[in-house]
Amino acid sequence: MEIPYVVNPRKDTGLFNSKIAIWLFLASEVMLFGGLFSGYVFLRLGADYPWPERTLPVLPGLINTFVLIASSVTVVFAWASLKLRKWGAFKLYMGVTVGCAALFMVLKGIEYNVKFHHQALRLDDYTVIEGHLAYEKENGTYVVDHHGNKIEGNRIRVETSGLTFNSVRFHKSWVEDLLAQAAHRNTRITLATDLAGATTEGGPVEVLAKAGEPLSVELLERVQAAHLAARAHNAALRTADLRAKWADAKAANPGKRDWEFASDVNIDTAALAPKLLTEHSSVAFKVEPPVRFEFRPRDIREAATQSRLRDDTVVDGTLLASPMVFHHVDAIDFRHLAMKAVEKGQDPMKAIEDSWLIRNHAFAREAWQWHQGEVAKLEQQLTDDYGIDPQTGKPRREPTAKERYRIGWKEFALKAEQAGGVSLGFADKIKEEFMGPNYAARGEETFPHLEVPRDEIRFAAKFTPAWNTYYAIYFTITGLHGLHVIGGALVLAYYLFFCRRLYETNPEWLANRVEVAGLFWHFVDLVWIFAFPIFYLM
Amino acid sequence: MADTADDIRKSVRSYLLVGAVLFIGTAVTVLVATVPWLDVGRHGFDVWDAVLGLAIAATKATLVAAVFMHLNHEKKGVYWIFASGLVFVIALFGLVGLAKFDPIHDPFFNDGPPAPSVLENSASGG
pLDDT tens track for A34-83: 999 999 999 998 899 999 999 999 999 999 999 999 999 999 999 999 99
Indicate if A108 and A191 belong to the same structural domain: no
Return the percent helix, strand and coil in chain A, to nearest 5: 55, 15, 25
Q: Within an 8 Å CB–CB cutoff, is residue B93 touching chain A? A: yes
Instruction: Name the domain count of chain A.
Output: 3
Model pLDDT, residue A261: 93
Measure in Å the smallest separation between the Cα of B41 and chain A Cα atoms.
9
| pLDDT score of A330 | 94
Residue A13 lies in a domain: no
Q: Are residues A165 and A210 in the same domain?
A: yes
8 Å CB contact of B82 and A23? yes
Cα A314–Cα A317–Cα A319 angle in degrees, nearest 5: 105
Please give the helix or strand (H or E) that residue A129 lies within, else none: strand A128-133
Confidence of residue A3 (pLDDT cuts 50, 70, 90): confident
pLDDT (tens digit, 9 = 90+) per residue, A523-534? Answer: 999 999 999 999
Q: Pick from A414, A434, A462: which residue ends a domain?
A: A462
- Note whether residue A130 is domain-resident: no
How many angstroms separate the CA atoms of A236 and B98, rounded? 58
Structural domain ending residue among the three candidates A419, A435, A462:
A462
C-alpha to C-alpha distance for A320 and A401, rounded to whole angstroms: 38
Rounded Cα distance between A130 and A404, Å, is: 17
Q: Does B71 touch chain A (CB under 8 A)?
A: no
Sort residue B70 into left (φ over 0), alpha (ψ -120 to 50) or beta. Answer: left
* Torsion, Cα of A210, A214, A216, A220 (10° steps): 30
Residue A195, in any domain of the structure: yes
Residues 6+ apart with CB under 8 A from A256: none
Verify that A303 and A164 share a domain, yes or no: yes
The residue among A265, A294, A321 that closes a domain is A321
Per residue in A356-367, pLDDT (tens digit) is 999 999 999 999
User: Is the pLDDT confidence value at B119 over 60?
Assistant: no
Domain of residue A238 covers 156-321
Contacts of residue B9, Cβ cutoff 8 Å, sequence gap at least 6 = A84
Q: How far apart are CA A334 and CA A365, in angstroms?
A: 13
A405 shares a domain with A350: yes
| pLDDT at A493 > cutoff 80 | yes
CA distance A412 to chain B (A): 20
- Work out the mean pLDDT of chain A and round it to a whole number: 94
The predicted pLDDT at position B121 comes to 38
> Residue B109's pLDDT is what?
63
Indicate whether A455 pLDDT > 70: yes
Give the confidence band of A1 by pLDDT, cuts at 50, 70, 90: low
Q: Which of A31, A514, A536 best tests the B interface by mutation, with the highest count of B CBs <10 A?
A: A31
CA dihedral A317, A318, A323, A327 (to 10 degrees): -50
Domain with A474 in it: what CATH number? 1.20.120.80
DSSP state letters, A60-112 = HHHHHHHHHHHHHHHHHHHHHHHHTT-HHHHHHHHHHHHHHHHHHHHHHHHHH
Report chain B residues whose CB lies below 8 A from the CB of A24: 81
**Residue A81 and residue A89: Cα distance in Å, rounded?**
6
Q: What is the pTM of this model?
A: 0.86
The answer to whether A492 touches A76, Cβ cutoff 8 Å, is: no
Measuring CA to CA, how many Å separate A307 from each of A70, A162, A300, A323, A344? Answer: 57, 11, 7, 17, 36
| A421 contacts A430 by C-beta, under 8 angstroms | no
Check pLDDT > 60 for residue A474: yes
Mean per-residue pLDDT for B107-125? 48
CA distance, residue A354 to nearest chain B CA (Å): 23
Answer yes or no: is pLDDT of A194 > 70.
Answer: yes
Please check whether residues A165 and A261 belong to one and the same domain. yes
**Distance of alpha carbon A34 from alpha carbon A27, whole angstroms:** 10
Confidence of residue B3 (pLDDT cuts 50, 70, 90): low
Q: How far is A341 from chain B (nearest CA, A)?
A: 15
CA A188 to chain centre: 35
pLDDT higher than threshold 60 for residue B124 = no
pLDDT value at B116 more than 50: no
Residues β-bridged to residue A388: A395
Helices (H), A253-309: 258-261, 269-272
Q: Is residue A277 part of a domain?
A: yes
Q: Are residues A410 and A393 in the same domain?
A: yes
Distance CA A538, CA A409 (A): 20
Q: Residue B28 pLDDT > 80, yes or no?
A: yes
Residue A148 falls within a domain, yes or no?
Answer: no
Backbone φ and ψ of A360, nearest 5°: -105, -15
pLDDT at residue B118 is higher than 60: no
Instruction: Provide the pLDDT for residue B126.
Output: 31
Record: contact A385-B37, CB cut-off 8 A: yes
pLDDT above 70: percentage of residues in chain A:
100
Q: Select from B10, B63, B69 the least CA-distant residue to A84.
A: B10
Determine the pLDDT at residue B120: 39
ipTM of the complex: 0.83
Query: Is the CB of A26 less than 8 angstroms away from the CB of B85?
Result: yes
If you measure CA to CA, which chain A residue comes closest to B71? A519
Q: How many CB pairs under 8 A join A and B?
A: 151
Q: Is residue A175 part of a domain?
A: yes
A347 plus A316 within the same structural domain? no
CB atoms A525 and B64 under 8 Å: yes
> Does A140 map to a domain?
no
* Closest residue on chain B to A396 (Cα): B42
List the alpha helices (DSSP H) in B2-106: 5-34, 47-63, 76-100
Detail the DSSP E strand segments found in A425-471.
450-452, 457-462
Asked if pLDDT for residue A344 goes beyond 60, the answer is yes
The dihedrals phi and psi of A484, each to the nearest 5 degrees, come to -65, -40
Q: In this prediction, what percent of chain A has a pLDDT beyond 90?
A: 84
Average pLDDT value for residue range A506-518: 94
**Mutation to test the B interface, candidates A43, A68, A69, most B Cβ within 10 Å:** A69
Instruction: Give yes or no: residues A250 and A167 share one domain.
Output: yes
Rounded to an integer, what distance in angstroms lies between the CA atom of residue A479 and that of residue A470?
Answer: 14
Residue A211, domain member (yes or no): yes
A442 and A490 housed in the same domain: no
Determine the residue among B6, B26, B100 to mutate to test chain A binding: the one whose Cβ has the most chain A Cβ atoms within 10 Å. Answer: B26
pLDDT (tens digit per residue) in A388-409:
988 888 898 999 999 999 999 9
For the residues of A503-525, what is the DSSP string, one character each? HHH-HHHHHHHHHHHHHHHHHHH
Q: Is the pLDDT of residue B122 over 50?
A: no
Q: Are residues A359 and A433 in the same domain?
A: yes
The DSSP letter of residue A229 is: H
Best of B14, B30, B120 to mutate (most A CBs within 10 Å, chain A): B30
Residues in chain A closer than 8 A to B13 (CB atoms): none
Beta bridge partners of A450: A326
A338 and A455: one domain? Answer: yes
CB neighbour list of residue A212: distance below 8 Å, 6 or more residues apart: A190, A191
Shortest CA distance to A56 belongs to which of A127, A129, A107?
A107
Q: What is the distance between the alpha carbons of residues A264 and A245, in angstroms, rounded to a whole number? A: 9
> What pLDDT was estimated at residue A12?
87
Same domain? A170 vs A305: yes
Taking the CB of residue A302, how many other CB atoms lie within 10 A of it? 18
pLDDT value at position A281?
A: 95
Q: Compare CB distances from B15 to A30, A77, A402 and report the shortest one's residue.
A: A77
